[in-house]
Structure 1
Amino acid sequence: MMFKGTGVALVTPFKKDQSVDFDALRKLVDFTIDGGVDFLVALGTTAETPTLTKAEKLEVLDCILKHNNKRKPVVLGLGSNNTQELLESLSHYPMQDVDGILSVVPYYNKPSQEGLFQHFSALAEATDKPIILYNVPGRTVANMLPATTLRLANKYKHIVAIKEASGNMAQCMELVQGAPDHFAVLSGDDNLIVPQLSIGFHGVISVAANSFPVDFCAMVNAGIQEDFVTARKLHYKLLKGIDLLFAEGNPTGVKYVLHKSGLMENVLRLPLIAASESLSQQLDQYLNA
């Protein structure tokens, strides 16, 4: 399996003038790699990608690739609810320099299961890069069912994983039970990763690994090694913090914690805004504890 363990969905730091802070982004790459992550995800939703210009997206990816310097695999977030636009975007990025693609279920359109199959089939026919599917019905509305996911995994050997963020444990178990040998089932729910590892998940693409990489990676590694005594202790150490990270949207909480750590400014782009005074106080209490 190409992708397992802890992947981190990197945030995009901004300066107070709203421009991209590339120095802070390089610090974040080092911070997460030093913390133990297994691979980096560039330009996912956590990166506030919908608010980045095309030029900024290329600059952010270039910064991550160059500073990473092949220390860890890099996955490029590349999704759209317009299939043709998604295929055309393949030519806009230096695909030869990335190790895989993370592609989200088309959002807003609410395609059928057959429509989802044909959408991802079109992507798989257009590239030989390893593809990680991303199912997150809380954001996209459409839920890609296990039968559709497994149909894709069995047809295309370079569809190598899914980031499953349905939160439906019955659906998760169906994916694990039916997955072919080359196909990894990864979590998209930071607060569920320990129970998901216990049912056979192979890792996670995490938001919280931006903020708490050492403990989070240790938790995932313990779970993979079936040391659930250690994993459970770390799970309950992190659980309140993870819940607070998402309390006012993503990456609102993450950026506050990283600001308190001295890694970046606490700046987001509209329509997202910085943490409220109430959330800031709760995060301070958690961090101090």
Structure 2
Amino acid sequence: MAVFKGAGVAIATPFNQDGSVNYDEFARLIEFQISNQTDAIIVCGTTGEAATMSEKEHMDVVKFCIDKVNHRIPVIAGTGSNCTQTAVQLSKEAQEYGADAVLSVTPYYNKATQDGLVAHFSHVADAIDIPVIMYNVPSRTGCNILPSTAAKLVKEKANIVGIKDATGNISQTAEMMNLTDGAIDLYSGNDDQVVPIMSLGGIGVISVLSNVAPRQTHEMCEYALKGDFAKASKIQLDAIPLIKALFAEVNPIPVKKALEYVGIEAGPLRLPLTQVSDEHAEQLKKAMKEFGLI
């Protein structure tokens, strides 16, 4: 059984002005997501600014989220690292805290070979009993899980169950689905490709858009899962201007401003990320109004 089907939110982490985690607003954001039909929460990923957290802080945020959600929907903990041992340790802690699965990004900067990726993900999988969803985002990591590598891992490791595909390469996605014989849970990692990826056998999205449009993203996935691609495509296409605005600057810069527009005090970003420009903030506000969010 899949960890989740539908729209999983790659949830942002609200900060106070002094840079500490704003747990009160984080709790509000979690409740906003659950009340608006988000199907799962992915905590401490790219959108959650995990790269700027200490390991202790990272896991404190994971634990808070798991405890707050309290089994109402699945919680997937971001536990990736460019150091395999660190990824193993974070994954073991996430399991201890009650995470339903982990999301493990390809090692960044090191630029592992395909054999290195097999060894890395195998070590993580062997260290825990909960499911592993691989995260393939070559534009950020400089490292690409090739279709044959994904197929090898899901066939050899029972708890490597899925992949967040943010390659943007539909041809590669199709080849991977062919090689895995449908035995991999495929999630779109790009909000502008949810419906195309689900048409190839995907079962949902791990979404930035869901931070501010959880109900609409859930509905888009629900229609696709039911085979009603006409209705799913309508939501997908209507959302394109907003998605473009959400990625006008590097994620999660715009989405934290977008959360402010819907009443969540997401606070500042941690350096080296900086506040969204005035021009992009206005474009974002316009797109959110046209999509019916504000």
- What is the TM-score when the length of structure 2 is the normalising length? 0.94
In structure 1, the residue matched to 2:257 is: 256
Counterpart of 1:136, as a letter, is: V
Counterpart of 2:138, as a letter, is: P
Match of 1:201, SS state, is: coil
- Kept in 1: contact 2:165–2:173 (CA 8 A): yes
In structure 1, the residue matched to 2:54 is: 53
Match of 1:240, SS state, is: helix
In structure 1, the residue matched to 2:68 is: 67
In structure 2, the residue matched to 1:42 is: 43
CA offset at residue 282 of structure 1? 0.5
- Kept in 2: contact 1:16–1:265 (CA 8 A): no
CA offset at residue 96 of structure 1? 4.8
The answer for unaligned runs of 5 or more in structure 1 is: none
In structure 2, the residue matched to 1:286 is: 287
Match of 2:205, SS state, is: strand
CA offset at residue 195 of structure 1? 1.2
Greater shift, 241-250 or 262-271, is seen at 262-271
- Kept in 1: contact 2:133–2:161 (CA 8 A): yes
Counterparts of 1:180 and 1:252, CA distance in 2: 37
Deviation readout 1:92-125 (Å, 9 max, x if unpaired) = 4453511111001111111111111111111112
- Kept in 1: contact 2:95–2:130 (CA 8 A): no
Match of 2:232, SS state, is: helix
CA offset at residue 30 of structure 1? 1.1
Counterpart of 2:196, as a letter, is: P
Q: Cα RMSD (Å) of the superposition? A: 1.5
Counterpart of 2:157, as a letter, is: Y
Counterpart of 1:240, as a letter, is: P
In structure 2, the residue matched to 1:26 is: 27
Deviation readout 1:5-38 (Å, 9 max, x if unpaired) = 1111111001222221111111111111122111
- What is the TM-score when the length of structure 1 is the normalising length? 0.95
Match of 2:47, SS state, is: helix
- Kept in 1: contact 2:177–2:184 (CA 8 A): no
In structure 1, the residue matched to 2:206 is: 205
Counterparts of 2:56 and 2:197, CA distance in 1: 37
Alignment of 1:9-24 (within 5 A): 9-24=10-25
In structure 2, the residue matched to 1:148 is: 149
Is 2:220 aligned against 1:230?
Answer: no
Counterpart of 2:216, as a letter, is: D
Match of 1:128, SS state, is: coil
Counterparts of 2:143 and 2:195, CA distance in 1: 25
Give the direction of change, closer, same or farther, for the CA distance of 1:95–1:182 in structure 2 (3 Å limit): farther
CA offset at residue 180 of structure 1? 4.8
In structure 2, the residue matched to 1:7 is: 8
Q: What percentage of aligned pairs have identical amino acids?
A: 39
CA offset at residue 87 of structure 1? 2.2
Match of 1:45, SS state, is: coil
Deviation readout 1:176-214 (Å, 9 max, x if unpaired) = 223255521111011011111112211111111111111
Counterparts of 2:226 and 2:95, CA distance in 1: 35
Counterpart of 1:283, as a letter, is: L
CA offset at residue 174 of structure 1? 1.4
In structure 2, the residue matched to 1:103 is: 104
Alignment of 1:105-124 (within 5 A): 105-124=106-125
Counterparts of 1:70 and 1:209, CA distance in 2: 19
